Amino acid sequence: VEGVPFPCLLKPTLIHLAKPFMRGRKVFIVESRADLVALSKKLPRESGSWLLQELIPGEESSIALVAGYTSENAIAGDTFTAVKLRQYPPGFGSASRAISGPCAEAREIAETLMASIGFNGMYGAEFKRDPRDGRLKIIEVNPRPTLWFYLSHAAGKRLVERAYCDVAGLPVALASPQRDGVLWHYVLKDMASAIFYRIRGRGFILGAPDLAAGGPVAGRCWPVFSLSDPMPFFAELMVYVTKFFRRVF
């Protein structure tokens, strides 16, 4: 661990193997070398390999999101950008609130990266603005649709549909401009994060997010709830209630 800057993050490369040990966390915040050594002794052998990652300071609302589809068919490819406003678990998790908006720099980095490795397919990428040098730093790139991908659909960038048509050999429409200001809100998870920042945010390693960072709201969408099909929302609510009682009792 020589040369590792502390504090840093420790996370499993295969999170599904480590879920029982993580107990709802996405990462461990490691404050010092001694903490890292102590934690490494507790890692279950069956959890697979683990990754040390630099902790980029600053609030989570300084994270830019990029969703994209790349293809040998240049017409089929397209890219969408947004701002992550809050996430769950707080600070180091998946988006719970995000808004569509322009981020040309993040888009250019993502497109250049995926082209340089010859990647074709769906991807979701995150970049965080480092306040120490003003540069965007890669947080992660997932070679698949991610949790917040419906935001791209609601904002007019129907990436999954484009991918389907491309693979199926169907006509692919010309890309249209994205609609900025569409707010994607994962209500249950975002409520938990909001409560966390209100109660414990003062002592947290990252600052509270700026919910106005993405600009004014021009529309809304949700990952689970729909008036025409409300059952998934209530089913998920029951899942969270069950998880709560299992952890408490």
Q: What tens digit of pLDDT does each residue of 21-65 get?
A: 988 888 999 999 999 999 999 999 899 999 999 999 999 999 999
Q: Residue 77: its pLDDT value, please?
A: 95
Domains of the chain by range and CATH?
Answer: 8-54 (no CATH), 60-189 (3.30.470.20)
What per-residue confidence (pLDDT) applies to 130?
96
**pLDDT at 247 > cutoff 80:** no
Statement: residue 2 has pLDDT above 80: no
Task: Please confirm whether the linkage preceding 209 is cis (ω < 30° from 0).
Answer: no
Helix (H) or strand (E) holding 160: helix 159-168
CA pair distance 7, 59, nearest whole angstrom: 16
> What average pLDDT is seen over the chain?
93
Q: What is the mean pLDDT of residues 128-138?
A: 96
- Start-to-end Cα distance in the chain: 38
Q: For 72-127, write each residue's pLDDT tens digit.
A: 998 999 999 999 999 999 999 999 999 999 999 999 999 999 999 999 999 999 99
Asked if residue 146 has pLDDT above 90, the reply is: yes
Handedness of CA 190, 196, 199, 205 (dihedral sign): negative
The Cβ of residue 156 has, within 10 Å, a number of other Cβ atoms equal to 15
The three-state DSSP-derived secondary structure of the chain is CCCCCCCEEEEECCHHHHHHHHCCCCCEEECCHHHHHHHHCCCCHHHCCEEEEECCCCCHHHEEEEEEEECCCCCCCEEEEEEEEEEECCCCCEEEEEEECCCHHHHHHHHHHHHHCCCCEEEEEEEEECCCCCCEEEEEEECCCCCCCHHHHHCCCCHHHHHHHHHHCCCCCCCCCCCCCEEEECHHHHHHHHHHHHHHHHHCCCCCCCCCCCCCCCEEECCCCCCCCCHHHHHHHHHHHHHHHHHHC
Segment 190-197 mean pLDDT:
95
User: What is the model's pLDDT at position 226?
Assistant: 86
